[in-house]
Structure 1
Amino acid sequence: MRFTDAQLIAWLQQFAWPLARISSALLIAPVLGSARVSARIRMLLALLLTLLIAPQLPAAAPVGLFGADWWAILLQQLAIGLLIGFTLQLVFEAVTLAGELISASASLSFATLADPLRGVSTPVIGQFLTISATLLFLALGGHLQLVGWLARSFSLMPVADDGVGIAQVGSVLRFSGQLFAGGLALALPLLIALLTVNLALGVISRSAPALNLFAVGFPLSLIGCLVLLYLAMPAMLEHIEVLFDGGWMALAGWLQ
């Protein structure tokens, strides 16, 4: 059995370009793109998804192997995959921002832990909210929706199409501004409550100067933060779910 050069190039294109888009999306996507997830696992998952998705795609026009057009299309697929993962990762960054604002208001900025998802040090409140958002993401089937959107992206933005342009990047940037405003709204109720606690402690310190504010104020602020976080957690999870819905809508918007 003999194969022509055109057939070999067509087979390579059929799998190489989808693999580039899928692997770049998994590289930066939430949960799957975590530093704690082995690169081998991500690569095997990308290969498995490529083997499932690529045969169902229409054959792309043959392009000279490793030519300028071939590299341009490859870079387009990498950019599309990175933008898909980055759009969803913004939701987790907004949640982390809310946790850092709450930690700063509760005087817990110095208490940091290594974040296994982002590979950096995060305040304990931010770590707690990030883990909660991760569990909610998995409980809602976000990892399955991500795979579904990766497969759907090849019909909405086919291989060898125009790829990512100014309009798509601008849409993601506008969404990032709205999302971080949503992260501030997530932390705002606790920030207002903690500000009230701090104002009350300030009034007490002025009325009783002999009172050691550091010995009394810090434990009260910490206890108040934990109690308020416990009471507000159901509403915060609902708000995080709304942020996830916004992320899927933004992803659908710029892909279409």
Structure 2
Amino acid sequence: MITFSEAQLMAWVSPILWPFLRVLALFSSAPLFSMRVIPMRTKIGLAFFVALCSQPMLGNQPIISLTGPDALGAVAQQVAVGIAIGFAVRLVFSSVELAGEIIGLQMGLNFASFFDPSSNARISAVARFFGNMSMLLFVVINGHLMVLLAVVKSFDSFPVDGNFLQSLSQMHLYELGSSLFSSALWIALPMVALLMFVNLTMGIISRVAPQMNIYAVGFPVTLTVGMLGIAATLPLLEQPVMTLMQRAIDLFANLR
């Protein structure tokens, strides 16, 4: 009769279980992977497939027994690291959407807002457009592969040792939070300068020709110039998104 000891079973299960939990936690918070249209069974199967394929890159991971005192800390550590990676990537998309909110405010289109089920909040049409463009750009530049590589490389910076508090102290997510508003402002700066110039021009025209109804003319002009400006500056969105994405991933893995 073939028998297995608990140590042998954990030697087989532990190298796959902890990466599986970390990748599954990533899929619950990262953009694109956390979409509700993706069935939960598909996420679980894909997380297991990624954990299985990443075994050659992980090397010798520490074996933690499920019945030991470090099991709860190991579970909390994998969930925290996975969610933190997904949250860092989501901050990149939030920066782009915030830039869209600023541009929409300058264009006068913030009244055209609707409920976004992904964020459970109302979002303007311009911000949603920038969010969709950043999502497409995320796929084009293989951002989803970069995120999966980051979660695999994170085992070098955050090994499976069950030390939950130490992992939290090593995460510097506040660095991304501090750059959220500055990055959004830099992305929206060309459009803000263009629309401020248009508003200044409209103000001069209203002083030169007071008989002109500037309120009837200003909105169509601002809207038209804003649409043309978005079309002209949209190709410039690639470099800021790639820079923010690299900065978010470098917090957990040095991929350079």
**What TM-score do the two structures reach when normalised by structure 1?**
0.86
Separation of aligned partners in 2, 1:200 and 1:230: 21
**In the alignment, what sits opposite 2:71?**
70
**In the alignment, what sits opposite 1:139?**
140
Count of residues paired in the alignment: 253
Q: How does 1:1-256 map to 2 (within 5 A)?
A: 1-54=2-55, 57-63=59-65, 65=67, 67-113=68-114, 115=116, 118=119, 120-160=121-161, 162-163=163-164, 164-165=166-167, 167-169=169-171, 171-252=172-253
Question: In structure 2, the residue corresponding to 1:122 is in which secondary structure?
Answer: strand
Contact 1:108 1:123 in 2 (8 A): yes
Q: Which runs of 5+ in 1 are unaligned?
A: none
Where does structure 1 differ by over 6 angstroms across 4 or more consecutive aligned residues?
none
Question: In structure 2, the residue corresponding to 1:251 is in which secondary structure?
Answer: coil
Matched AA of 2:63? A
Separation of aligned partners in 1, 2:36 and 2:188: 26
Deviations 1:24-65 (A, max 9, x none): 111111211233333332222112112223575425234351
Deviations 1:12-31 (A, max 9, x none): 43333222111111111121
Contact 1:35 1:119 in 2 (8 A): no
Contact 1:113 1:127 in 2 (8 A): no
**Distance verdict in 2 for CA 1:197–1:125, change over 3 Å:** same
Separation of aligned partners in 2, 1:50 and 1:158: 14
Identity of paired residues, percent?
31
**Distance verdict in 2 for CA 1:98–1:156, change over 3 Å:** same
User: What RMSD in Å do the two structures reach over aligned CA positions?
Assistant: 2.6
Contact 1:30 1:88 in 2 (8 A): yes
**Distance verdict in 2 for CA 1:10–1:88, change over 3 Å:** same
Deviation at 1:71, TM superposition (A): 0.6
Deviation at 1:179, TM superposition (A): 3.8
After alignment, is 23-32 or 47-56 more displaced?
A: 47-56
**Distance verdict in 2 for CA 1:235–1:37, change over 3 Å:** same
Matched AA of 2:14? Q
Deviation at 1:138, TM superposition (A): 1.0
Deviation at 1:110, TM superposition (A): 1.3
Q: Which runs of 5+ in 2 are unaligned?
A: none
Separation of aligned partners in 1, 2:168 and 2:28: 23
Question: In structure 1, the residue corresponding to 2:37 is in which secondary structure?
Answer: coil
